[in-house]
Chains A and B, each alone.
Chain A
């Protein structure tokens, strides 16, 4: 039990307050509706709760029961044991936002190291202490670009190969802004250079994903140059594991880099909590929303960290703040900090290569199945689109009967891609799993 007052405690406390019974504490509430009889069950013990929750969880099918090639923004990666070991330290998880730095250096130093690691990974000058997830991070990028031009530039160019759910989130966030979004109605698999003709002096932001939602890797140099030629901001949404192998977006002169950090040691957990990465150039640091830890010294001259640039934030600026963001994803950012610390340079490079090789093996093997095609030209990382001889939905149904989660049926978001399946392969997929899927495809789609 989590409350401890005995009858004697209650009576002693009420006496100090000057009341006879606890009900008197609620005299200022309206009588009507007070102390409702809730149609809820009585509490159960911890033993019973664990039993019930274990049962509910057992109804779900995990990668232990299903071979999974599902990605599309959430990935099944190995999480080193050391990550959860640190997350379970209750000095971290039962602390609040570090408002009192003298007794919060654990949280603050972890935030500072997180910012440093994300800056190093993305190649950017500065990273904030995180947003809720990849979707809200890109929405905040749009928000930042809008305010950067004080609302005077009214156009955002959004690639159709940005994650559909992220694009939907941007549309929700910008409802209160006077902004127009263009680019999404290009052909689904348009390449980034097709966005160039849309850029003009009204453009606040050009936003692409790298590798894109279809897993493809493009050179973004020309697009970036075109955006900058019109003085627009250029934002790139990344997969952090891919950056163990491929050029960071700083090499394309990105102004804003966002990312979904789930791949960095965060369980899939049915979609959350995840981690929104956000980094930018030094000149935009005051325009960036979100928490920031900065280095300083204490009264004794010891190096330490505090929350800084708070004057940008809502608790001081209220309605004049450019974002309502109040927290970061503290503990999840910590998970990714421990994860990146463990892997380090060599670990992340090895992991990225492992993903790359396995995905390419899978793509090559699937291409050998009659009727299945993979675009042979465009480089990709650990995810790719296969064109199927029958609707992707049916391919998935067939695979599921063999306990395989085939991939993401792209027709859910792109009506013209009815026969296209988005397949992700990570270090968790063995060669034999890949071979088994190919075998099933060969047998079941044979006419």
Chain B
């Protein structure tokens, strides 16, 4: 099934697209700076299209089949969002145009800020961060700036539960924080005694994910946030799991002070094979002044005869800019379209069905797959992919076998506090028939694990490729290809 690379398809002097001849007199070229060779492939358009179409078909994707990948919220990506983002009035505007020529764009950004604020209970939202991890960095820098503005230069300790996404400690470390890991208690909640022990005058804050990465709503959340606040710290919320809370509960009510949203998870924008995402950050009133610049504000409300007027402002104590321009606008248009079409009740249904689906799968598999923290879950749950009577089988084998049935596997080996984790997030956009088919397959694979483990070890056999040699990849480190040395002469 191996496809040639675009470089292997290249032949000298083929062209994929031509540009018009210059309609101006030719200028003298800068001789001292001219490039001698440009070793790019030369392929006609039809071959380029066939190449990328062929390799696309080697992908599993939400539009191809079920994708219950935990913590990634692989819900359906509505097609109307793709159309609205491509409207010329959105896709063809320059980020530095005078604001009076882009009032539609500013208005849309302002509305999106308002929707996200209303859904989450925060008082202001910046759309600038480019992705979840970028939102975390922004949020931690806001916490840092808040403490420093109060002269609290020693508040550099950031508490991160052991169940957190790996980006949480990495984002904190990048912001100059010292990371202290907090254990979870036997119910999967934040361990309050361990938290208490770390609450002192160096406490900057805590980074929590709630529902946490076990898919559980933390039962100690109110007490935990209260403790942190009493000791002068702030609470960062990782909004990766917001899909469980839309219209159900507002994160600001728990005591979260700053949180990022993942528009590419909760608000249906496509994952694009790894990006682009969008990670807006919401904050409570006291932190508004620290948001990254610029923010969109309405400077005049407008009336029947005059439209509202919008402008960019720079918050007084802003942490600065976290990227160029105004955020991933094209992604923001998609998310806004999604929110408009769902409305308040549609958003609530998203959370209800996401949680219903997760509990349904959990209930159907729990007698066969051990659930280490078994209680009503939120939008996802974590099972173990190992059995005493199948000693050679690991979670990875279960995952690879699922591929043979046309399913994308659950997330493996995360969270780290569960052995052989299989993290399953069904999402709300699947029919009961799909869920049943997935469960039936999980049960069959568990049976195979005990009675015919070789099938699992050899899986996948029905995918275009078998298991890859990852050790070889890291050892050989072939990270690119190129035109052959004899390209022009062969």
Say which one of B227-235, B280-288, B444-452, B459-467 lies at the interface with A: B459-467
A357 interface hit (Cβ, 8 Å): yes
B344 interface hit (Cβ, 8 Å): yes
Q: In the complex, which residues 1-50 of chain A have their Cβ closer than 8 Å to any Cβ of chain B?
A: 2-5, 9-10, 12-14, 16-19, 22, 25-30, 32-36, 38-46, 49-50
B169 interface hit (Cβ, 8 Å): yes
Residue of A nearest to B342 (CB): A43
Say which one of A54-62, A186-194, A438-446 lies at the interface with B: A54-62
Contacts A86-B53, A95-B61, A326-B131; A135 near B323 (Cβ below 8 A): yes
Contact of A306 among B134, B179, B376, B470 (CB under 8 A): B470
Contacts A61-B102, A246-B30; A330 near B470 (Cβ below 8 A): no
Q: Is the CB of A269 within 8 A of B356?
A: no
Q: Is the CB of A427 within 8 A of B19?
A: yes
B57 interface hit (Cβ, 8 Å): yes
Chain B nearest CB from A160 CB (Å) reads: 17
- Residues in A with CB closer than 8 Å to B169 are 314, 318-319
Chain A nearest CB from B43 CB (Å) reads: 6
A158 interface hit (Cβ, 8 Å): no
What are 9 A-B pairs at a CB distance below 8 A? A38-B118, A61-B102, A133-B325, A169-B321, A172-B320, A173-B174, A272-B130, A324-B173, A332-B276
Q: Is the CB of A357 within 8 A of B24?
A: yes
Q: Is the CB of A294 within 8 A of B43?
A: no
B205 interface hit (Cβ, 8 Å): no
Q: Is the CB of B132 within 8 A of A302?
A: no
Docked complex Cα distance between A300 and B158 (Å): 47
Q: Is the CB of A268 within 8 A of B118?
A: no
- Residues in B with CB closer than 8 Å to A219 are 32-33
Contacts A49-B340, A326-B167, A331-B275; A303 near B18 (Cβ below 8 A): no
Between A and B, how many residue pairs show CB distances below 8 Å?
A: 683
- Residues in A with CB closer than 8 Å to B119 are 38, 40
B387 interface hit (Cβ, 8 Å): no
- Residues in A with CB closer than 8 Å to B91 are 267-269
A416 interface hit (Cβ, 8 Å): no
Contacts A43-B346, A49-B84; A272 near B273 (Cβ below 8 A): no
Q: Is the CB of B16 within 8 A of A270?
A: no
Contact of B25 among A33, A299, A361 (CB under 8 A): A361
Which range holds the interface residue count of chain A?
35 or more
- Residues in A with CB closer than 8 Å to B429 are 2-4
A344 interface hit (Cβ, 8 Å): yes
Contacts A82-B49, A273-B328; A431 near B23 (Cβ below 8 A): yes
Interface of B is mostly: loop
Q: Is the CB of A247 within 8 A of B166?
A: no
Residue of B nearest to A340 (CB): B40
Chain A nearest CB from B63 CB (Å) reads: 4
Q: Is the CB of B465 within 8 A of A102?
A: yes
Contact of B432 among A12, A267, A340 (CB under 8 A): A12
A112 interface hit (Cβ, 8 Å): yes
Say which one of A197-205, A228-236, A285-293 lies at the interface with B: A285-293
A93 interface hit (Cβ, 8 Å): yes
Chain A nearest CB from B320 CB (Å) reads: 4
Q: Is the CB of B352 within 8 A of A22?
A: yes
- Residues in B with CB closer than 8 Å to A172 are 141, 292, 319-322
When each residue 335-350 of chain B gets 1 if its CB lies under 8 Å from chain A and 0 otherwise, what string results? 0110111111111111
Say which one of B72-80, B191-199, B297-305 lies at the interface with A: B72-80
Q: Is the CB of A3 within 8 A of B48?
A: no
Contact of B470 among A14, A173, A308, A341 (CB under 8 A): A308
A356 interface hit (Cβ, 8 Å): yes
Q: In the complex, which residues 82-105 of chain B have their Cβ closer than 8 Å to any Cβ of chain A?
A: 82-98, 101-105
- Residues in B with CB closer than 8 Å to A86 are 49, 52-53, 56
Q: Is the CB of B19 within 8 A of A105?
A: no
B389 interface hit (Cβ, 8 Å): no
Docked complex Cα distance between A294 and B480 (Å): 8
Docked complex Cα distance between A127 and B481 (Å): 11
Chain A nearest CB from B279 CB (Å) reads: 10
Q: Is the CB of A70 within 8 A of B96?
A: yes
Chain A nearest CB from B75 CB (Å) reads: 7
- Residues in B with CB closer than 8 Å to A13 are 356-357, 359-360, 432
Contact of B84 among A53, A323, A400 (CB under 8 A): A53
Chain B nearest CB from A70 CB (Å) reads: 5
Residue of B nearest to A408 (CB): B96
Chain A nearest CB from B332 CB (Å) reads: 9
Chain A nearest CB from B213 CB (Å) reads: 12
Docked complex Cα distance between A121 and B414 (Å): 38
Residue of B nearest to A168 (CB): B321
- Residues in A with CB closer than 8 Å to B186 are none
Other 12 A-B pairs with CB < 8 A, given A45-B341, A173-B137: A9-B432, A26-B217, A26-B355, A60-B93, A64-B92, A70-B96, A217-B33, A300-B466, A327-B275, A329-B276, A361-B25, A400-B98
Chain B nearest CB from A176 CB (Å) reads: 3
Contacts A59-B104, A102-B465; A285 near B479 (Cβ below 8 A): yes
Residue of A nearest to B400 (CB): A102
Q: Is the CB of B5 within 8 A of A109?
A: yes
Docked complex Cα distance between A73 and B56 (Å): 31
When each residue 13-34 of chain B gets 1 if its CB lies under 8 Å from chain A and 0 otherwise, what string results? 1111111101111110110111
Chain A nearest CB from B456 CB (Å) reads: 14
Q: In the complex, which residues 100-129 of chain A have their Cβ closer than 8 Å to any Cβ of chain B?
A: 100-107, 109-113, 115-117, 119-121, 126-127, 129
B437 interface hit (Cβ, 8 Å): no
Q: In the complex, which residues 138-175 of chain A have their Cβ closer than 8 Å to any Cβ of chain B?
A: 143, 163, 165-166, 168-169, 171-173, 175
Docked complex Cα distance between A386 and B96 (Å): 18
- Residues in B with CB closer than 8 Å to A111 are 274
